[in-house]
Structure 1
Amino acid sequence: MDPVTTEDRATEPLTEYAHRLTRRVRAFDHRHPLLWDLHFAGFWVTAALIDWAGGGWRHNAHNLDVPGGLLLALSLGFSLPLLWRRTHPGAALAATVPFALVNAWTGAALQAALLQLVLVYHLALRRALRELWWATALVIAPVLVSVARHGEGSWDQQIGSQLMSITVAALIGVTVRTRRNYTEALEDRARRLERERDQQAQLATAAERARIAREMHDIIGHNLSVITGLADGGRYAATKSPERAAQALDAIATTSRQALTELRRLLDVLGEEEKQQADRTPQPGLTDLDQLLDGVRSAGLTIHTTTHGSPTLPPGRQLTVYRVIQEALTNTLKHGGPDATADIELSYEDRGAVTVTITDTGNGSRPQSPAGGRGLPGMRERTALYGGTLEAGPRPHTERGWRVRLHLPEETPQ
């Protein structure tokens, strides 16, 4: 952190206090606009009446014999319209013009006439800039009357001075307006970014839930199917061959442990923010296919594999191939029947392209997935991540069984 100087310590609290006070005043004004307008207008009404009652107007007057009642009316005519300076600045300015003309004609030259510049400021702050042209004409008109009536000062000097005052008031209004619009734009942008961030977080959460659902379905569904097959085989073997039944129980225990291990690895990924050393890709790949096939074979399904080419796939594609094969074999175990067999053909091509075909000789029909099922939709989602295609359906009528074909195209260079 940068060192804080003694001057910073002295000025920062005052600056923070000023900012906090400004925010409080603006918040109060936003909640009670009429009350603030009454205070503002009341202040200038009081100032105008003090100028009238105290005789301060005589120092600039061209005529000292103006009646007191007229002076009172002029003072109120300049100050009271300030009450509507924010809601109707144009109308408030127009209301002061008759008093300004009378003020110039009689030679009273009340200082309260300068309050017209406050209305010019609010016009520049809240209305279109083209309205400043007629506002300028309204404020200049009394100056022309005063010069023509009393003849003090040159025309260019009087008009130039008034134009300069109008210009300064308008520039202040435009500057404040620009700053306010800029601040509102920043606040709006911040709100939109916050909404977009929340939407992105919701989308990321939904995508993560979908990914977890796919993984849980593939892990639990496959292993439970293998365990079911082993349990059925062990039940039949228990009466005739106790040794085969014991082997089936051992295989069930091994498969259950494998399922628990994969679930733990998946949960480790979900908690990797708390465990910085957690493996970011603890998912099975092509090297785990043999173990997968051995487990399915132990459940009673005969599998033949054919491989063309050498696998050179990144981890993500390996996981997709693994899960699709796992899901296809799980469905064969569930629906293929006791005499079903499966054939797996893997064709590896250049630059990560791969084609996998899984066919079985079991019952060619498959029950419709229940609502929320993750089997075939999960395989399609995995395939879509890499722009691939997935075909799944019964084989031709002349052949029994089911066929699943996965194709992942070549990797696109980034």
Structure 2
Amino acid sequence: MRIARQQRPPRTGPAPQDWSTGAQPLTRRLQRLTERLRAFDRRRPLVWDLHLTGVFVFAALVDAAGGWRNVAFNDEVPSWLVLVMSLGFSVPLLWRRGHPLAVLLVMLPFSLANAASGAHLQASFLQMIAVLNIALRLPLRTLVWSLCTVLVPLAVGATAYPVGSWDQQFVPMLYSFALVALLGLAVRSRQEYTASLVERARQLEVERDQQAQLAAAAERTRIAREMHDIIGHNLSVITGLADGGAYAAASSPQRAAQALEAIGTTSRQALTELRRLLDVLREDGDAPPAAELAPQPALTDLERLVDGVRGAGLPVDLTVEGDPGRLPAGRQLTVYRVVQEALTNSLKHGGPKATATVAVRYGADAVTVTVTDTGAGGDATRTGTGRGLAGMRERTAMYDGTLEAGPLRRPPGGWRVRLHLPKEPDQ
């Protein structure tokens, strides 16, 4: 018996994604370096913020040491005011990622003082870093308020120090603002797109795991159904043979010996089928070749199945009409298992004087099987809590067939199982 099995490797956690496949060596190195910096930033964000803010503070103080006079509208601004404004533009950047709009608003008084005094500090362009973080993290409408926050000091400066035309003072800042905002939006869209791809990959992984679990559950159900059919039928045959042998032991020792021999043959056959079935559950995946190549029961095995039931003491009449043609192995197995389970129930519940008939008819578009017995077993004994009838219905439903099972009217009484299994269109 060959039953497919799906093996899954053990999972120890999500593996890191490698996005550098096919990239040049230099590109891969840069990507690895960037990923390390990002990982360090995720673990210790304050360290990175302190270092970056320190760089900005140092650059602002260098400009405040005297370089600001080269571009200032008024080079007589007090040094202490220049120092305060330089620190006001650079120190708030420590909180640029968590509160970018608040940082820009904190810079607004220093920007107004810078414009009104005519110092024209280069540190005022650090406002663009806050604008970049706003474009990265906040709703897009926040950029409108950010633009107003940047343009108000420009209007104050243009009014206090009307050097050149207004467009010469406004246009460069507008270009800078637009460029930084577009850069932030581009990075943001890329991050969101990458995050959506990662989420999609995670969802696909979850769906794959769910499909694997469903496949494993279906496989366990199929194996349980096969084991029920194999064990139930063979144990019923062995029980019938043992009862008959015990009855014949006193009057006919030869009949008793034949019964014991049949019990041994049936037991060996059951063990062989169980070994074949359980081999698919081996963890190492090294099932013996015999288990891999052994065929499943087919329609040609019905005669042997009926002979075994006859040997167990239940008279069975088998009739076959029509030509089975090229019936697929799965449908043949379904017919075989339904007949097997029906005869097993007849052995269990039919009583000592029961007889059974099996009629198999191969039509042009369907296979019809009717198993009838004359046993005395009624509804209570045939439709208990076991898996027999449920297993037959599950097998039938797999191929869009119908199964009817129930008692016959008295007299004469008995039980009938009728299977209607449609063929595939091309058969």
Alpha-carbon distance in 2 for matches of 1:276, 1:90: 70
Residue 377 (structure 1) aligned to one of 390, 393, 412: 390
Alpha-carbon distance in 2 for matches of 1:280, 1:156: 87
After TM superposition, give the deviation of residue 279 of structure 1 in Å.
Answer: 4.9
Alpha-carbon distance in 2 for matches of 1:413, 1:406: 21
Q: Is the 8 A contact 1:226 1:296 kept in 2?
A: yes
Alpha-carbon distance in 2 for matches of 1:293, 1:269: 28
Residue deviations 1:177-217 (CA, integer Å, cap 9, x gap): 11111111111111111111111111111110000011111
Q: Is the 8 A contact 2:349 2:382 kept in 1?
A: no
Residue 109 (structure 1) aligned to one of 120, 132, 135: 120
Written as runs of structure 1 = structure 2, the 5 A alignment for 1:318-397 is 318-351=332-365, 353-365=366-378, 366-367=380-381, 373-397=386-410
Amino acid of the structure 1 residue aligned with 2:420 = H
Q: Is the 8 A contact 1:386 1:409 kept in 2?
A: yes
Query: 1:208 maps to what in 2?
Result: 219
Alpha-carbon distance in 2 for matches of 1:102, 1:276: 87
Change (3 A) 1:148 1:276: farther
Residue deviations 1:253-306 (CA, integer Å, cap 9, x gap): 221222223223334555696469775782111100000000100111111123
After TM superposition, give the deviation of residue 382 of structure 1 in Å.
Answer: 0.5
Query: 2:17 maps to what in 1?
Result: none
Residue deviations 1:229-269 (CA, integer Å, cap 9, x gap): 11111111111111111211221122122222322333455
Written as runs of structure 1 = structure 2, the 5 A alignment for 1:278-297 is 279=292, 282-297=295-310
Residue deviations 1:372-398 (CA, integer Å, cap 9, x gap): x32111111101101112122221233
Alpha-carbon distance in 2 for matches of 1:223, 1:150: 106
Alpha-carbon distance in 2 for matches of 1:383, 1:275: 29
Amino acid of the structure 1 residue aligned with 2:265 = T
After TM superposition, give the deviation of residue 119 of structure 1 in Å.
Answer: 0.8
Residue 139 (structure 2) aligned to one of 128, 137, 147: 128
Query: 1:4 maps to what in 2?
Result: none
Query: 1:172 maps to what in 2?
Result: 183
Amino acid of the structure 2 residue aligned with 1:356 = V
Amino acid of the structure 2 residue aligned with 1:393 = G
Amino acid of the structure 2 residue aligned with 1:141 = V
Query: 1:38 maps to what in 2?
Result: 50
* Structure 1 residues without counterparts, runs of 5 or longer: 1-7
Task: Answer yes or no: is 1:298 the counterpart of 2:311.
Answer: yes
Give the TM-score normalised by structure 2.
0.87
Residue 159 (structure 1) aligned to one of 156, 167, 170: 170
Task: Answer yes or no: is 1:402 the counterpart of 2:415.
Answer: yes
Task: Answer yes or no: is 1:47 the counterpart of 2:59.
Answer: yes
Query: 1:137 maps to what in 2?
Result: 148
Amino acid of the structure 2 residue aligned with 1:100 = S
Q: Is the 8 A contact 1:120 1:132 kept in 2?
A: yes
3-state SS of paired residue (2:196): helix
Overall identity of the aligned pairs, in %: 61
Residue deviations 1:127-150 (CA, integer Å, cap 9, x gap): 122221221222123223333322
Query: 2:32 maps to what in 1?
Result: 20
Q: Is the 8 A contact 1:310 1:348 kept in 2?
A: yes
Alpha-carbon distance in 1 for matches of 2:102, 2:187: 21
Alpha-carbon distance in 2 for matches of 1:348, 1:279: 30
Task: Answer yes or no: is 1:185 the counterpart of 2:199.
Answer: no
Change (3 A) 1:145 1:281: farther
Q: Is the 8 A contact 1:265 1:282 kept in 2?
A: no
Change (3 A) 1:374 1:281: farther
Deviates more, 1:158-167 or 1:291-300: 158-167
Amino acid of the structure 2 residue aligned with 1:340 = A
Query: 1:62 maps to what in 2?
Result: 73
Q: Is the 8 A contact 2:319 2:359 kept in 1?
A: yes
Give the TM-score normalised by structure 1.
0.90
Change (3 A) 1:382 1:68: same
3-state SS of paired residue (1:350): coil
After TM superposition, give the deviation of residue 409 of structure 1 in Å.
Answer: 2.8
3-state SS of paired residue (1:83): helix
Q: Is the 8 A contact 2:345 2:382 kept in 1?
A: no
Bigger relative contact order (CA 8 A; separation at least 6): 2
Alpha-carbon distance in 1 for matches of 2:91, 2:384: 76
- RMSD (Å), alpha carbons: 2.6
Residue deviations 1:89-121 (CA, integer Å, cap 9, x gap): 112112212211211121101111000100111
Number of residue equivalences: 403
Q: Is the 8 A contact 2:350 2:375 kept in 1?
A: yes
Deviates more, 1:276-285 or 1:26-35: 276-285
Alpha-carbon distance in 1 for matches of 2:403, 2:148: 77
Query: 1:3 maps to what in 2?
Result: none
Amino acid of the structure 1 residue aligned with 2:212 = A
Written as runs of structure 1 = structure 2, the 5 A alignment for 1:239-278 is 239-267=250-278, 274=286
Q: Is the 8 A contact 1:364 1:395 kept in 2?
A: no
3-state SS of paired residue (1:338): coil
Deviates more, 1:293-302 or 1:188-197: 188-197
Alpha-carbon distance in 1 for matches of 2:107, 2:23: 46
Alpha-carbon distance in 1 for matches of 2:23, 2:212: 42
Task: Answer yes or no: is 1:311 the counterpart of 2:324.
Answer: yes
